[in-house]
Amino acid sequence: MTVATPSLAINGGPAELEGLPALPTWPRFGPEEERGLLEVLHSGAWGSTHGDVVATFEREFARSQQAEHAIALSNGTLALVAALRAAGVGLGDEVIVPPYTFIATAAAALFVGAIPVFADVDADSHLLDPAAVEAVVTERTKAVIPVHLAGNVADMTAFAELGRRLGLTIIEDAAQAAGAQWEGRGVGTIGDLGTFSFQSSKNLSAGEGGIVTTNNKELAGAVYSLVNVGRVPGGGWYQHDAVGYNLRLTEFQGAILRAQLARLPEQQELRERNALALAEQLAGVDGVAVAPTDERVTAHGRHLFLFRVPGLGERGLRDAAAAALAAEGIPAATGYVPLHRNGALLGESRALASKLGQPMPEADCPNADLVSSDTLWLTQSVLLGSEEQISAVGRAIAKVVGRADDLG
pLDDT of res. 2: 41
pLDDT tens track for 324-380: 999 999 999 999 999 999 999 999 999 999 999 999 999 999 999 999 999 999 999
12-21 pLDDT, tens digit per residue, is 999 999 999 9
pTM (2 d.p.): 0.96
pLDDT band (50, 70, 90) for residue 4: low
* pLDDT the model gives residue 1: 33
Q: Which among 209, 119, 211 is positioned nearest to 173, based on CA atoms? A: 211
In this prediction, residue 5 carries a pLDDT of 63
Residue 164 pLDDT grade (very low, low, confident, very high; cuts 50, 70, 90): very high
Apex 8 CA angle, 7 and 10, nearest 5: 135
- Rounded Cα distance, 121 and 107, in Å: 18
Cβ atoms within 10 Å, residue 185: 18
Cis peptide before 265 (omega within 30 of 0): no
Question: Stretch 145-157: mean pLDDT, rounded?
Answer: 98
Residue 113 dihedral angles phi and psi, to the nearest 5°: 85, 10
Q: So what's the pLDDT on residue 405?
A: 85
Mean pLDDT of 231-238: 92
Pairing state between β 193-197 and 210-214: antiparallel
Please state the three-class secondary structure of the chain as a single string. CCCCCCCCHHHCCCCCCCCCCCCCCCCCCCHHHHHHHHHHHHHCCCECCCCCHHHHHHHHHHHHHCCCEEEEECCHHHHHHHHHHHCCCCCCCEEEECCCCCCHHHHHHHHCCCEEEECCECCCCCCECHHHHHHCCCCCEEEECCECHHHCCCCHHHHHHHHHHHCCEEEEECCCCCCCEECCEECCCCCCEEEEECCCCCCCCCCCCEEEEECCHHHHHHHHHHHECCCCCCCCCCCCCCCCCECCCEHHHHHHHHHHHHHHHHHHHHHHHHHHHHHHHHCCCCCCEECCCCCCEEECCCCEEEEECCCCCCCCCHHHHHHHHHHCCCCEECCCCCHHHCHHHHHHHHHHHHHHCCCCCCCCCHHHHHHHHHEEEEECCHHHCCHHHHHHHHHHHHHHHHCHHHHC
Is 37's pLDDT higher than 80? yes
- Mean predicted lDDT score pLDDT of the chain: 96
**Upper half-sphere CA count for residue 372 (Cβ side, 13 Å):** 18
Comparing C-alpha atoms, which of 278, 285, 281 is closest to residue 304? 278
Mean pLDDT across 106-126: 98
